[in-house]
Structure 1
Amino acid sequence: MGNETPAGTMIRLLQNLQRRAEENGLAGRVVQTSRAHPPVLVLINPDIHQLSEEISCKEVNPGDWWLYWSWGGQIGRATDVTGAVAAIRRVLGTRP
């Protein structure tokens, strides 16, 4: 927002998703392995640690940020946190 860098926007949006995901039973952390790689949100099913997913965030049009699965498929707009968490919970097999 305002003078926020693209990386800052990605981190903010991924942290918003992380908060909501954690409220819905997932464990997560935003990580950035180097400046050359964009940040991702790693989410884990705490009941089955083998079930995890890396969520990325990309700007597809100015101001229009989308969330993506690790394999490149779109999850949805980064502003639709509720819809994204529902989709992620289905993939990670968490209980309602």
Structure 2
Amino acid sequence: MKCQEIKIIENQQMQVEQYISTEKFEQAITLLNECIEEIGDNYFSETSLDSTGMKLVLANAEEQKGNLQTAANLKNNVLKARIELVKQNLQCN
């Protein structure tokens, strides 16, 4: 993964914010899932503390229960955290 790819994902994350603010939670979740999948495990580092995996499990559980707003917000937080971790790993600005 390259810094340029992360910038694209950051732009998609801004679109997610718009979906959430207009209560388009299904669209937000679809885009969030795509972005999280695209990042894959590139966010992981031996030196970083990461709790996003557990938050993602919780978000998926909320989605299964039909709590789409909660799921979208949790996944959005996961995505933002993973973006920052990737940027640190790649030393992006």
Hey, which of these two has a bigger chunk of strand by percent? 1
Higher normalized contact order (CA 8 Å, seq sep 6+, divided by chain length): 2
TM-score of the pair, normalised by structure 2: 0.30
TM-score of the pair, normalised by structure 1: 0.29
